[in-house]
Chains A and B, each alone.
Chain A
Amino acid sequence: MINHLRKTLIVAFCLWHVTALTAYSVTDAMSELNIFGFIRNTVYQKSRPYMFSMSLWQRWPLFAPDPLRRVIAYTFEAWTGDSWEVVGYIGPDDKSAFHSSSMLKLMRRLDENEHQGSLRERLAYRTCSQRGLLEGTKIRVIRSYHVIPRHARPQSISWWMQWEPHWQSNEVLSTTCPDTPVL
């Protein structure tokens, strides 16, 4: 009897887990398709507490629907009294360290969300700490970007060899180094 009850509970849990996982993983774009729209509408709200509590939240738009084409880089510059000096950089040319992928992901997320300006500022403050800049030193963040071209059909190797990225830059933040270091 206890064994039957245990088995019933396990089967119920498996069914619930599979349903919740499926409903939660449906993206906005996928829910345009009828079948996924139905799954999402009926189960999504119910699945959220479970998926969040168990840290199972997930979506899988890996390089989709189209791959990311905007390449960005952040350059941190400090005012030396007569000119701006580069004191830090996060971007594609800095892949020497472990977790460069984590830093690049962090930068992309901060870049996508304008409301996270305060966090971008913390990123600048970290450069102050790392470079030992004095409190009150002016620091600014220059955002550089270029967009990889999109084509209707594949281009030849020679076309890509002739292509060069067209970088553009703009200042996205200007502040001064704080008294409390950001580690």
Chain B
Amino acid sequence: MSTLLKNIDTFFFRKISAGGFGLMRMFWGLTILWWMGTMYKHVPFFFSDAGLIPTDLGYLSFRSEYRFTLLEYIVEPNQVYMLYFAMLIAALLTTIGKWARVSTTVTVILFFSFQERNLLPLCGGDTVLRCIGFMLVICPELRAFSIGRAVDQWKNWQKKKKLLPDLQMSIWPYRLLLWQATIIYLFSGIEKGLGTMWWDGTAAAAVYHHTHFTMFPKWVMDILSGGTAIVSYFTLIYELAWMFILVPHFISRRLPQVIHPGSYKRALLLGGLIFHLGIGLTMNVGIFVVAILVMYLGLMLPEDWKALKAFFNRKRKGKTHLLFDGHCGLCQRSVCFLHQMDSLGRLDFVDFHDEKRRKKIDPTLKFADLDKAMHMKTVDGRTEKGFDGFRMISWDIIWLWPIAPLLYIPGIPVIGRRIYAEIAKRRRKCDHEGCAM
């Protein structure tokens, strides 16, 4: 009995990193901001009494029971717009994690209110966003990847020169999210299996020629239709494959191991990434693809992040050393910030005042040079400094990947070097909280 209780306790309350749900919160907020933000000009039409469904025609569309929406009371276009902007602001705060718990809850209430006001334009992506929103509200820890957390990290860095350990949470919200994902795929697969076209291998060609969804001209979709059988069967097999995630470990470990033990979910997520990117590139299915990929973030456990990190770092022989001025407040702040963004763990931060370490990394580096700019030295001996160093390590920091290519645009390096030199020159005037420019 006690073993059973212990197993139940582990199953629901094992501690995991809250990073996955933190990331999911961040991208969920961003998705709501983008998806609802682009609806700006349709707001009165979709959601007010002056639009498609005035309250007196609500009986044609509204659910008659258990329906809660603030837009039942707020019906005038201007008032609806105010609520709409409140939702966008809340979504922005959710994204950056300002008052994460409150802002997420407010976004959920407002987003759900808009969804419940008019069911007619909603698609699968809207439903996925609602499901994620619900999971976030009930999740006990939402502060990972938030502004508040960054401030806490900075305070700790000032005192101890190291980051706080990962925020932890019980695993049960992850389990519920995994069940939600399984329902989506498995039930969709079973429903497809009840038809005939997916089995005949003709379904994908029909989808490719449904011009409500296709994004390319007919001749492109004609060519793609040559692979209809493969795509149809892949879809069926992929969706039904989610049923095996329900097989408990004590059974699955006795079965023939086709893939690396414990990596079945990762294989499904990778398959899903390919599957949904394929859909996203060829079809217009609203917000569905983005919403599903946002959900994947919450499905990543620490061991999954570790495996992903190992994959990205598989060709690296060591870390890049970043030599900074440990006596300068601005440098400390920058290093703390870079440390938090170093998700792939590729950087080694070294205070160049630590002579022993400095000489171990590169005895030829001169103090006077180091005092002028941060130096970065890779494991293969390449040394860059200042703006060029930042540009080099921007490829090591996953969060900087979107801007990394931009740093090579002609003109940007010239401006970047100048700005860097000016800041470096004045950095002594900075303390931990600000700079006198």
A95 near B: Cβ within 8 Å? yes
Q: Which chain A positions have C-beta within 8 A of B203? A: 63, 66-67
CB-CB nearest in chain B for A181 = B50
**B181-203 contacts to A (CB < 8 Å):** 183-184, 187-188, 190-198, 200-203
Whether A101 pairs with B131 at a CB distance below 8 angstroms is no
Whether A53 pairs with B201 at a CB distance below 8 angstroms is no
Q: How far is the CB of B112 from chain A (nearest CB, A)?
A: 4
Q: Which chain B positions have C-beta within 8 A of A48? A: 65-66
Q: How far is the CB of B209 from chain A (nearest CB, A)?
A: 5
Whether A148 pairs with B67 at a CB distance below 8 angstroms is no
Given contacts A99-B42, A148-B206, contact A182 B219 (CB under 8 A): no
Q: Which chain A positions have C-beta within 8 A of B209? A: 148, 160, 163, 165
B55 near A: Cβ within 8 Å? no
Q: How far is the CB of A58 from chain B (nearest CB, A)?
A: 5
Interface string of B23-59 (1 = CB under 8 A from A): 0000000000000001100101110101111100100
Whether B50 pairs with A11 at a CB distance below 8 angstroms is no
Q: Which chain B positions have C-beta within 8 A of A30? A: 187, 190-191, 194
A183 near B: Cβ within 8 Å? yes
Q: Which chain B positions have C-beta within 8 A of A49? A: 65-66
Contact pick for A115, options B60, B197, B211, B228, CB 8 Å: B60
Q: How far is the CB of B412 from chain A (nearest CB, A)?
A: 30
The segment from A131-139, A151-159, A169-177 found at the interface with B is A151-159
Q: Which chain A positions have C-beta within 8 A of B53? A: 119, 122
Give the A interface residue count (CB, 8 A). 75
Whether A65 pairs with B195 at a CB distance below 8 angstroms is yes
**A12-55 contacts to B (CB < 8 Å):** 14, 17-18, 21-22, 25-27, 29-30, 32-33, 36, 48-49, 52-55
**A63-99 contacts to B (CB < 8 Å):** 63-69, 71, 92-93, 95, 98-99
Whether A104 pairs with B212 at a CB distance below 8 angstroms is yes
Contact pick for A25, options B39, B52, B66, B183, CB 8 Å: B183
CB-CB nearest in chain A for B56 = A118
Q: Which chain A positions have C-beta within 8 A of B130? A: 55-56
Given contacts A58-B131, A60-B188, contact A106 B120 (CB under 8 A): yes
Total A-B residue pairs with C-beta atoms closer than 8 Å?
214
Q: How far is the CB of A111 from chain B (nearest CB, A)?
A: 11
Whether A52 pairs with B63 at a CB distance below 8 angstroms is yes
Q: How far is the CB of A85 from chain B (nearest CB, A)?
A: 22
Q: Which chain B positions have C-beta within 8 A of A110? A: 120
Whether B12 pairs with A14 at a CB distance below 8 angstroms is yes
**B202-223 contacts to A (CB < 8 Å):** 202-203, 205-207, 209-212, 214-215, 219, 221-223
Contact pick for B286, options A69, A105, A116, A160, CB 8 Å: A105
CB-CB nearest in chain B for A122 = B52
Q: Which chain B positions have C-beta within 8 A of A64? A: 188, 191-192, 194-195, 198
Q: How far is the CB of A47 from chain B (nearest CB, A)?
A: 11
A1 near B: Cβ within 8 Å? no
Tell me the complex Cα distance, A105–B126, Å. Answer: 12
Q: How far is the CB of A168 from chain B (nearest CB, A)?
A: 15
Whether B112 pairs with A105 at a CB distance below 8 angstroms is no
A and B contact pairs by CB, cutoff 8 A, 14 listed: A21-B179, A55-B134, A56-B134, A58-B183, A60-B183, A69-B210, A101-B123, A102-B122, A122-B57, A148-B206, A148-B209, A154-B201, A161-B219, A183-B45
Q: Interface residues, chain B, CB within 8 Å of chain A?
A: 8-9, 12-13, 38-39, 42, 44-46, 48, 50-54, 57, 60-61, 63, 65-68, 77, 112, 115-116, 120-124, 127, 130-131, 134, 170, 172, 175-176, 179-180, 183-184, 187-188, 190-198, 200-203, 205-207, 209-212, 214-215, 219, 221-223, 225-226, 228-229, 284-286
